[in-house]
Amino acid sequence: MCNFFANKPLDKLIREGIKPEHMNDKVLGRTLDELFEQDVSKVYSELAIKVVKHLKLPCDALNLDCTGFHVDGRYSAL
């Protein structure tokens, strides 16, 4: 996982002092657990509102697409 984050601006994306070696499966798991506990849709919409305000974007409405499609395993294509 460290390799993926090696060329990412973690100081801007997360906070200063975060290094690629700090990023691992346990950190990712704890983060995903916390997002679930806080209601990821609520976190996303609040973040979107803050970004729109910070960037002073013209916005009259927000639309969150909550549709998705997920397949696990092998399947036979028709």
Spatial distance between the Cα atoms of 49 and 29, rounded to a whole number of angstroms = 26
Report the sign of the C-alpha dihedral through residues 65, 67, 73, 74, in that order.
negative
User: What pTM did the predictor assign?
Assistant: 0.55
pLDDT, tens digit, 9 for 90 and up, residues 19-67: 999 998 898 899 999 999 999 889 988 998 899 899 998 877 766 666 6
Answer yes or no: are the C-beta atoms of 11 and 17 closer than 8 Å: yes
Give domain limits for the chain.
Answer: 2-54
